[in-house]
């Protein structure tokens, strides 16, 4: 699907926080080979390079639009690839992925495959949203089913792509030396008009909008905006609160 880097980066500070929290938990002092899967605009990839300046860092993404923005960063290799079939050119000491692997199906295959690519003592560090039953995401499905666009969009509705923490423990514990799994629910304090809609428009909602042409696209967006505005009302100080749960995995082989 097409990505809009400017829309995604509207909430760059909020989106960066879990990425840095994941990075802080990587137990490596001097990795030589690092791959950032789902690098997007490269803002996190640059943080990785800053932490380990001697490392060879590759940022991988399947979006031409995102990589065009990311490629402005020096000293990092950029690779356009489908994450579902990607394989590294050399065994990485660290495979890092922030808010990307939930776009891939069949995690029972994805995660063992990524672990198998690691160099000895290598680390897989991944963060994925697990907010799909919250109103922010559930109301997308409600909006899809409530208008003339239903026939064009309903095929995109699917169960939560991120499983329970225990699923990943059972999957990874037998093939790793150490495994750290935790969840954090962030409370994002947002400002501006319709901020929750604008947040989702930069990520999960985009796949639905991309299927529609105007004026139906705008009508669907307005429908979702009306629903989500009621679920996340503006506070008396003008801000809107968005609780957002994320799942973290740090595995060492």
pLDDT in tens, 39-92: 988 989 999 999 999 999 999 999 888 788 776 667 899 999 999 999 999 999
Class of domain 5-252: alpha beta
In this prediction, residue 73 carries a pLDDT of 66
What phi and psi, each to the nearest 5 degrees, are found at residue 178? -135, 150
Strands 240-252 and 178-190: antiparallel
In this prediction, residue 192 carries a pLDDT of 92
In this prediction, residue 66 carries a pLDDT of 78
Q: How many CA atoms lie within 13 A of 57 on its CB side?
A: 25
In this prediction, residue 93 carries a pLDDT of 98
In this prediction, residue 125 carries a pLDDT of 98
In this prediction, residue 63 carries a pLDDT of 84
Q: Where are the alpha helices (DSSP H) in the chain?
A: 5-8, 12-24, 43-51, 64-70, 107-117, 135-144, 150-153, 165-172, 195-201, 206-209, 216-231
In this prediction, residue 6 carries a pLDDT of 52
In this prediction, residue 14 carries a pLDDT of 84
In this prediction, residue 8 carries a pLDDT of 46
Q: Which residues of the chain have pLDDT under 50?
A: 3, 8
In this prediction, residue 204 carries a pLDDT of 93
**Cβ atoms of residues 24 and 48 within 8 Å:** no
């Amino acid at each position: 699907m097409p990505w809009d880097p400017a829309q995604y980066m509207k909430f760059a500070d909020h989106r960066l926080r879990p990425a840095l929290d994941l990075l802080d938990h990587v137990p490596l002092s001097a990795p030589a080979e690092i791959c950032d899967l789902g690098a997007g605009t490269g803002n996190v990839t640059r943080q990785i390079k800053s932490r380990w300046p001697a490392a060879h860092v590759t940022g991988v993404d399947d979006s031409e639009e995102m990589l065009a923005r990311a490629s402005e960063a020096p000293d990092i290799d950029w690779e356009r690839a489908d994450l579902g079939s990607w394989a590294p050119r050399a065994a990485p000491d660290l495979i890092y992925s922030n808010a990307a692997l939930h776009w891939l199906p069949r995690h029972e295959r994805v995660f063992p495959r990524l672990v198998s690519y690691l160099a000895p003592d290598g680390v897989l560090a991944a963060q994925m949203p697990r907010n799909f039953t919250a109103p922010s995401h559930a109301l997308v499905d409600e909006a899809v089913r409530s208008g003339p666009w239903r026939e064009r969009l309903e095929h995109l509705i699917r169960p939560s792509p991120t499983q329970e923490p225990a699923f990943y423990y059972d999957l990874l514990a037998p093939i790793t030396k150490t495994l750290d799994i935790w969840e954090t629910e962030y409370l994002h304090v947002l400002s501006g008009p319709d901020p929750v809609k604008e947040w989702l428009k930069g990520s999960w909602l985009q796949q639905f909008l991309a299927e529609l042409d105007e004026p139906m696209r705008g009508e669907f967006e307005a429908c979702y905006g009306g629903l989500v505005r009621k679920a996340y009302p503006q506070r008396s100080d003008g801000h809107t609160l968005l609780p957002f749960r994320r799942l973290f995995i740090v595995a060492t082989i």
